[in-house]
């Protein structure tokens, strides 16, 4: 995956779609403590996220390395954003990690069926929150390689449970 | 009859005898006169004449003697024959149960003859002939007026033969029913001279008739009370109906039974319920086909009165032996009034439909409530955890990045805040598990119990490292058919409890045992921990019930409630046994 409009010197941003200022702030702190070089771009609801998608497609903004997507969002929820993103002709291949409070089986299944690359339940424990930030960084930003299963969504619900 | 012949008979006999005597006199005198003259004319010789006269006299005597013999013999033989005949008849009457009697047709009906067997009836023949008692006084006083009237009618207008049924009150036999067959003798003017009767004792027949009548009345009453009519059908005689069946069908009971076509057209609504089948069966019977035994429900024809439902019973029966006029087959049937039953059934059906509607409405309400509960769980998971995450995150950031500006007490406060958060987080997690359990689909699988116990213990190992000496007393081959996740949850919570509450002992011991019983598999988790008071046996399974202080034994108070809920979903029975300070045993019985 390439980022056509981005400066080759600076790493691609991480896009966070999150309505909760607390969660957003904690995530910033977590990334900051990990000394992550990637800048954070923020969408505060589903509509903003879709607007950002258009800007990436038009090349007005750099395409993010990964989108961290909450499910419960005002106006347009995260699953709809995910489906719109996957259906987009230009930006359909951007990796998406669901980062949400919901541990609901139905949400997890729907997310993977709609093309999520990973599903992470936001941990309450801040240490574990840090672990999550580390995983995201390591897997999606440092390696910067979308896994082979991105567009096949071949994972079964059982696997998803254990992924939690 | 033998003792005194009637005057008529006597007169006839005298006239016959006189006639014969006169003829003899004339013929004899003519013979004497003619023969004397002939001799005188033919014979002149006096001596010859005298001899011939003598010979003629002898010959006359001889012929007369011959004639006398013939006549007397005949008469006597006839008399003897008649006497023998009469004797025979008298003996027959003597031995017959029939009493022959003859009255004179005038006031008081004096008896002029009684057959000798009167003694068999306990009657004195001579006394009866003497008119003491007279015959009328023997007749039952209730029957006498009608008998007298009837006899007068017959004397006046005929017919001269008739039969009467009445009671006699006899000195020895008591009240006897008699059938009196009577004929009248009339003279040339048509006046009745004699009344002749033969009396037959019909007391027994009469008793049987009364008995039969009583039985019929009983049957009639029973049918009427039960609303049950009965009927019969055979190919030759057609229908016979009981009175009750006439009544059930709104017909007068004294009318004739209708034929099949009329019954179907006028009496029954053949469109209702089993009507078409009943019509087919009855038409088949009319066409000579014996029906199958069955019960059919049909409504009475609306033209016959208020709404009435009948259950027709049709029973094939063979014809009576030796009585063939009915033909080869016979049907015995019933017709039961089931109007009330039918009404009740309709009401029940309406009630059921109503119930169904109510259940549907309730189910819909429940579904709405369930959905609300689900969105509540969702809200709990998302909205309650979000601020908790903030508290936890900022507490730690405070601890990590501003520790220098905090004194020991400040750091202690931050630790306490984080501990509270952890507890709250656990509680929310347990609550979610509890509320989600009902939604989780049940799976039915065969698992080895020992494997499940091993897995569960391994999973608990990091949380409770070397917590207790654990004994597993589960047979290797023991398998259960159950929902593995549900049973796993039960086992995990019970073991956690056991570890937690035995942790304070010098030698904490936990034992897991299982064995197969007749229809259940029994699983026990036993510990030597702090136990519990018998009073809490049931209450400890309720949600948020804590028997111990949270600082001594941390926990959310949801664990055993979870266990009970999971057990209920598996149809399993769960019970606890324990004593304060002596440990506890939890027992689960899984149906197999």
Structure-block tokens of residue B473 = 């007393």
| Domain harbouring B116, CATH code | 3.30.450.20
pLDDT at B273: 86
pLDDT at A83: 94
| Domain harbouring B508, CATH code | 3.30.565.10
Q: Is the pLDDT of residue B585 over 90?
A: yes
For B219-250, give one letter per residue: b (16+ CB within 10 A) or e.
eeeebeeebbbbbbbbbeeebebbbbbbbbbe
Is residue B517 a contact partner of residue B482, using CB atoms and an 8 Å limit? no
Q: Is the pLDDT of residue B163 over 80?
A: yes
pLDDT at B550: 66
Q: Is the pLDDT of residue B161 over 60?
A: yes
User: Where residue B320 falls among pLDDT bands split at 50, 70, 90?
Assistant: low
The domain boundary residue, chosen from B94, B115, B133? B94
Average pLDDT over residues B447-472: 87
B496 touches chain A (CB under 8 A): no
Angstrom CA distances, B391 to A31, A148, B414, B415, stand at: 18, 38, 10, 12
Query: Could you tell me the residue ranges of all domains in chain A?
Result: 14-163
DSSP β-ladder status, B192-201 and B99-104: antiparallel
Domain residue limits at B115: 96-201
Q: Does B508 reside within a domain?
A: yes
Q: Among all residues of chain B, which has the CA nearest to that of A99?
A: B382
Q: What CATH number has the domain spanning A14-163?
A: 3.40.50.2300
Helix axes A21-33, A126-136, angle to 10 degrees: 70
Q: pLDDT over 70 for what percent of chain B?
A: 96
Calpha distance B487→B496 (Å, rounded): 14
* From B378, B397, B421, residue closest to A124, measured CB to CB: B421
Question: Phi and psi at residue B367, in whole multiples of 5°?
Answer: -60, -40
Is residue B280 a contact partner of residue B304, using CB atoms and an 8 Å limit? no
B68 shares its domain with B184: no
Q: Does B369 reside within a domain?
A: no
pLDDT at A152: 39
pLDDT at B208: 94
pLDDT in tens, B36-55: 888 888 888 888 888 888 88
pLDDT in tens, B74-93: 989 999 999 999 888 878 87
The whole-chain average pLDDT of chain A stands at 79
Q: Is the pLDDT of residue B265 over 70?
A: yes
The whole-chain average pLDDT of chain B stands at 86
B464 shares its domain with B568: yes
Q: Is the pLDDT of residue B396 over 60?
A: yes
pLDDT at A155: 41
B39 shares its domain with B149: no
Comparing B423 with B1, the larger pLDDT belongs to: B423
B218 shares its domain with B79: no
Nearest residue to B449 (alpha-carbon basis) of B355, B525, B344: B525
pLDDT at A113: 93
| Close Cβ partners of B562 (under 8 Å, ≥ 6 residues apart) | B430, B433, B434, B437, B489, B493
pLDDT in tens, A73-118: 888 889 999 999 999 988 888 999 999 887 778 889 999 999 999 8
pLDDT in tens, A121-138: 888 888 888 888 888 877
* From B381, B386, B395, residue closest to A23, measured CB to CB: B386
User: Where residue B360 falls among pLDDT bands split at 50, 70, 90?
Assistant: very high
The domain boundary residue, chosen from B337, B361, B384? B337
Calpha distance A16→A70 (Å, rounded): 8
User: Where residue B547 falls among pLDDT bands split at 50, 70, 90?
Assistant: confident
Interface A–B counts its CB contacts (< 8 A) at 53
Prior bond of B159 cis (ω within 30°): yes
B50 shares its domain with B111: no
Comparing B541 with B8, the larger pLDDT belongs to: B541
Q: Does B159 reside within a domain?
A: yes
Check residue B117 and report its DSSP letter: G
Is residue A115 a contact partner of residue A151, using CB atoms and an 8 Å limit? yes
Check residue B121 and report its DSSP letter: G
pLDDT in tens, B229-264: 999 888 888 888 888 888 888 888 888 888 888 888
Q: Does B470 reside within a domain?
A: yes
User: Where residue A4 falls among pLDDT bands split at 50, 70, 90?
Assistant: very low
* From A22, A72, A103, residue closest to B389, measured CB to CB: A22
Are the beta carbons of A22 and B387 separated by less than 8 Å?
yes
Beta-bridged to residue A118, according to DSSP, are A97
Mutant choice from A19, A101, A127 vs B, greatest count of B C-beta within 10 A: A101
Handedness of CA B188, B189, B193, B198 (dihedral sign): positive
B571 shares its domain with B478: yes
Q: pLDDT over 90 for what percent of chain B?
A: 24
Average pLDDT over residues B261-274: 86
Q: Is the pLDDT of residue A2 over 60?
A: no
Average pLDDT over residues B212-229: 90
Full DSSP string of B352-386: HHHHHHHHHHHHHHHHHHHHHHHHHHHHIIIIIHH
| Close Cβ partners of B46 (under 8 Å, ≥ 6 residues apart) | none
B481 shares its domain with B575: yes
Closest CA–CA distance from residue B390 to any residue of chain A (Å): 6
B425 touches chain A (CB under 8 A): yes
The total number of structural domains in chain B stands at: 4
pLDDT at B319: 64
pLDDT at B49: 85
Stretch (H or E) spanning B101: strand B99-104
Full DSSP string of chain A: ---TTS-TTSPPPEEEE---HHHHHHHHHHHHHTT--SPEEEESSHHHHHHHHHHHHHTSSPPPSEEEE-SS-SSS-HHHHHHHHHH-TTTTT--EEEEES---HHHHHHHHHTT-SEEEEPPSSHHHHHHHHHHHIIIIIIS----TTTTT----HHHHHHH-
Instruction: Return residues 32-71 of A near B (CB < 8 Å).
Output: none
Q: Does B177 reside within a domain?
A: yes
Closest CA–CA distance from residue B433 to any residue of chain A (Å): 11
B382 touches chain A (CB under 8 A): yes
Average pLDDT over residues B433-449: 82
Give me the interface pTM, i.e. the ipTM. Answer: 0.70
The domain boundary residue, chosen from B314, B337, B360? B337
Question: Phi and psi at residue B186, in whole multiples of 5°?
Answer: -120, 150
pLDDT at B105: 79
DSSP tally for chain B: helices H, then strands E = 14, 18
User: Any idea which of A144-148, A160-164, B367-371 has the lowest mean pLDDT?
Assistant: A160-164
Check residue B116 and report its DSSP letter: G
Structure-block tokens of residue A39 = 């800048």
Q: Is the pLDDT of residue A1 over 70?
A: no
pLDDT at A137: 79
Nearest residue to B229 (alpha-carbon basis) of B337, B338, B340: B337
pLDDT at B90: 78
Contacts of B421 in chain A (CB under 8 A): 124
User: Where residue B350 falls among pLDDT bands split at 50, 70, 90?
Assistant: very high
pLDDT at B463: 81
User: Where residue B326 falls among pLDDT bands split at 50, 70, 90?
Assistant: low
Angstrom CA distances, B294 to A131, B230, B277, B423, B495, stand at: 81, 15, 10, 74, 65
Q: Is the pLDDT of residue B539 over 60?
A: yes
B286 shares its domain with B321: yes
């Amino acid at each position: 995956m390439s980022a056509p409009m981005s400066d080759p010197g600076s790493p691609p941003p991480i896009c966070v779609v999150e309505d909760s200022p607390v969660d957003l702030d904690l995530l910033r702190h977590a990334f900051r403590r990990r000394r992550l070089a990637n800048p954070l771009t923020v969408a505060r609801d589903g509509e903003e996220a879709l607007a950002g998608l258009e800007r990436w497609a038009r090349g007005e903004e750099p395409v993010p390395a990964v989108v961290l997507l909450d499910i419960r969002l005002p106006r347009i929820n995260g699953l709809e954003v995910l489906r719109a993103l996957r259906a987009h002709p230009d930006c359909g291949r951007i990796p998406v990690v669901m980062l949400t409070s919901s541990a609901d089986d139905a949400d997890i299944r729907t997310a993977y069926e709609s093309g999520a690359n990973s599903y992470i339940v936001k941990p309450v424990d801040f240490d574990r929150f840090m672990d999550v930030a580390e995983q995201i960084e390591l897997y999606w930003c440092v390696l910067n390689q979308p896994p082979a299963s991105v567009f096949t969504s071949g994972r079964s619900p059982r696997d998803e449970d254990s992924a939690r | 009859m033998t003792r005194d012949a009637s005057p008529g008979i006597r007169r006839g006999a005298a006239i016959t005898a006189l006639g014969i005597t006169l003829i003899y006199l004339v013929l004899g005198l003519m013979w004497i006169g003619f023969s004397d003259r002939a001799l005188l004319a033919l014979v002149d010789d006096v001596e010859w004449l005298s001899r011939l006269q003598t010979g003629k006299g002898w010959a006359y005597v001889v012929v007369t003697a011959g004639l006398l013999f013939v006549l007397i013999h005949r008469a006597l033989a006839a008399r003897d024959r008649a006497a023998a005949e009469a004797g025979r008849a008298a003996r027959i009457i003597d031995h017959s149960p029939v009493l022959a009697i003859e009255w004179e047709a005038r006031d008081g009906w004096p008896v002029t003859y009684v057959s000798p067997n009167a003694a068999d009836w306990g009657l004195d023949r001579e006394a009866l002939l003497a008119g003491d008692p007279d015959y009328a006084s023997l007749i039952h006083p209730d029957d006498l007026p009608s008998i007298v009237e009837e006899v007068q009618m017959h004397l006046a207008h005929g017919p001269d033969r008739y039969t009467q049924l009445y009671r006699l009150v006899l000195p020895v036999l008591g009240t006897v029913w008699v059938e009196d067959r009577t004929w009248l003798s009339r003279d040339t003017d048509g006046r009745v001279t004699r009344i002749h009767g033969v009396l037959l004792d019909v007391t027994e027949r009469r008793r049987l008739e009364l008995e039969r009548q009583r039985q019929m009345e009983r049957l009639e009453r029973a049918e009427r009370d039960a609303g049950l009519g009965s009927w019969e059908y055979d190919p030759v005689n057609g229908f016979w109906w009981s009175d009750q069946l006439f009544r059930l069908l709104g017909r007068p009971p004294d009318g004739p039974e209708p034929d099949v076509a009329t019954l179907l057209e006028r009496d029954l609504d053949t469109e209702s319920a089993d009507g078409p089948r009943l019509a087919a069966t009855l038409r088949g019977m009319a066409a000579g086909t014996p029906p199958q035994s069955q019960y059919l429900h049909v409504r009475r024809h609306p033209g016959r009165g208020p709404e009435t439902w009948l259950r027709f019973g049709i029973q094939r029966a063979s014809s009576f032996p030796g009585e063939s006029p009915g033909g080869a087959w016979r049907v015995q049937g019933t017709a039961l009034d089931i109007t009330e039953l039918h009404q009740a059934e309709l009401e029940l059906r309406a009630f059921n439909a109503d119930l169904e509607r109510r259940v549907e409405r309730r189910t819909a309400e429940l579904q709405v409530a369930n959905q609300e509960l689900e969105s509540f769980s969702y809200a709990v998971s998302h909205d309650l955890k979000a601020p908790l995450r903030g508290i936890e995150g900022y507490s730690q950031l405070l601890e990590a990045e501003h520790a220098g500006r905090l004194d020991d007490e400040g750091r202690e406060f931050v630790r306490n805040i984080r501990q509270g958060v952890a507890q709250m987080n656990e509680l929310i997690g347990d609550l979610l598990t509890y509320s989600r359990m009902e939604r989780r689909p049940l799976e039915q699988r065969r698992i080895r119990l020992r494997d499940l116990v091993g897995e569960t213990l391994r999973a608990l190992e990091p949380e409770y490292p070397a917590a207790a000496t654990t004994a597993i007393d589960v047979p290797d081959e023991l398998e259960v058919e159950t929902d593995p996740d549900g049973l796993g949850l039960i086992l995990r919570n019970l073991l956690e409890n056991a570890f937690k509450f035995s942790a304070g002992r010098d030698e904490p011991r936990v034992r897991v045992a299982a064995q197969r019983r007749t229809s259940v598999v029994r699983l026990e988790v036993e510990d030597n921990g702090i136990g519990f008071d018998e009073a809490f046996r049931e209450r400890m399974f309720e949600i948020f019930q804590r028997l111990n202080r949270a600082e001594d034994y941390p926990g959310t108070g949801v664990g055993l409630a979870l266990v009970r809920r999971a057990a209920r979903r598996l149809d399993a029975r769960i019970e606890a046994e324990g004593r304060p300070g002596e440990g506890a045993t939890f027992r689960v019985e899984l149906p197999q």
